[in-house]
Chains A and B, each alone.
Chain A
Amino acid sequence: MLVAHRSPPLDFTWLYQEQDPRLYRDVINVSEVPGTQDAEPGARWSASAAAFVAWRDGDQAALEELVRLLSPTLWQVARAAGLDRSHAEDVVQTTWLALMDHADSIAHPMAVAGWLCTSARRESWRVSKRVRRERPTDDDVLHPTLPTAEGPETEVVLADDHLRLRLCLDRLTERCQTLLRMLAAGPRPEYAEVSAALGMAVGSIGPTRARCLDKLRRELISEGSL
């Protein structure tokens, strides 16, 4: 079956090293309220805002709609943090439970997707640390970068543009791949959240992001994708 992607165990500890909390203090607020997305993700955030408002106004069916809309995004957030499938699923569920308790604290409905992704990101980081502690040699924690060995992902038939993008991503460093996957999942996260998960100083996220994106853009151009 499809879970165990048995590539050789990779050293992933750098992802979970704790950073000096002083490094987080200059939080750069990128966007909790998404505004610069393409039509497709943008439409998802708007629909989720509408469902969130309806649910808070007492429409129970709207909660189901909200869960169906955003759970796949939360899954990507958890997987981008390096969690295996069962832990990722647990994080998605825990995140929704947290929303039940904190829905009142979300001032702007458009922020609901950002709020959920932020919670999922923090919970994923917490779970990753716990998993690492409990099973320090566990190779079950999947690699959030592109698989090089035969795995479930290789069975997915990719569209041409996805294939080319994958090829180009594969030429980036592991760190770049991880960072870009994290930044891409859900509404653009605050650098401080990513900083904690990656063990990178907040101040270096921006420049690293720019470098990784430039490299990817050059690869895409040389591949004729742009």
Chain B
Amino acid sequence: MADPLDPISDDQILDAVAGLWEALDPPPDDLAEGVLARLDANDLDAELLTLVEFDKELAGVRSTTMLRAPNEIGTWSLEYLGPGFRVQVRISRSQREARLDGWVVPAQPMTVYLTSMGSKDSTTETQVGDSGRFEFPVTPTGACRLTFVSDPTSTRPLVTPPFWI
């Protein structure tokens, strides 16, 4: 393609353009971590919920699956979409502890498991109330995910991508 008299080949120019964009528009630092977590979640015998909403100010250099840096303090919310329902999640993190409040819309009987994916693997469970509300007053911190199982169990469990508490 390149004219031998050209000082620089088309491919060299395009590589330079690619290099410029890599500098101008770098991916989130934890892009690969998000991919690996998603691939892990895909291995589970469960259907993945889709993250549809999050506090916009949370996004930025951090990825949307790992919205918060570890040990950040504050309150933030996430919303996931599943087959026939939505889940809103609000996470409040203080210096020493964290809590998670959730709402399933429309309300339906479900068991919810909160699993910590960190070094201390742990799972706690609760039930969705008549109003669709559920809560984990004390949660683990670090990378976690929620699993929803319909009562009575009829479909595959539904699991969120990992998120930070």
Contacts and interface: CB of A to CB of B under 8 A. Distances in A.
Interface residues of A, number: 54
Chain B interface size band reads 35 or more
Contact of B21 (A88, A93, A185): A185
Nearest to B8: A226
B17 to A, nearest CB: 4
Interface in B1-52: 6-28, 31-32, 34-36, 38-39, 42
Contacts of A41: 15, 18
B39 A75 contact: no
DSSP majority for the A interface? helix
Contacts of A220: 8, 13
Contacts of A71: 27, 31-32, 35
B35 A76 contact: no
B60 A1 contact: yes
A184 B39 contact: no
Contact of A185 (B16, B18, B58): B18
Interface stretch (B61-69, B80-88, B91-99, B146-154): B61-69
B56 interface: yes
A171 interface: no
Interface in A40-84: 40-41, 63-64, 67-68, 71-72, 75-76, 79-80
A37 interface: yes
A158 B60 CA distance: 20
Given A41-B18, A67-B32, A71-B27, A2 B60 contact: yes
Contacts of B59: 1, 3, 85-86
B57 interface: yes
A96 interface: yes
Contact of A85 (B16, B28, B38, B39): B28
Contact of B19 (A2, A4, A89, A162): A162
Nearest to A36: B11
B61 A2 contact: yes
A162 B18 CA distance: 11
A38 B61 contact: no
A165 B8 contact: no
B64 A67 contact: no
Contacts of A188: 11, 14
Interface string A128-161: 0000000000000000001000000100101101
A181 B8 contact: no
B52 to A, nearest CB: 10
A183 B14 CA distance: 7
Contacts of A202: none
10 closest pairs, A vs B, by CB?
A1-B60, A75-B27, A184-B18, A2-B60, A184-B17, A184-B14, A93-B38, A86-B64, A226-B7, A153-B24
Given A146-B24, A156-B23, A181-B17, 16 more contacts: A3-B56, A36-B11, A63-B39, A67-B36, A72-B22, A72-B31, A85-B28, A86-B59, A89-B27, A89-B28, A93-B38, A158-B23, A166-B20, A169-B17, A180-B17, A185-B18
Interface of A: 1-4, 36-38, 40-41, 63-64, 67-68, 71-72, 75-76, 79-80, 85-86, 88-90, 92-93, 96-97, 100, 146, 153, 156, 158-159, 161-162, 165-166, 169, 180-181, 183-186, 188, 209-210, 213, 216-217, 220-221, 226
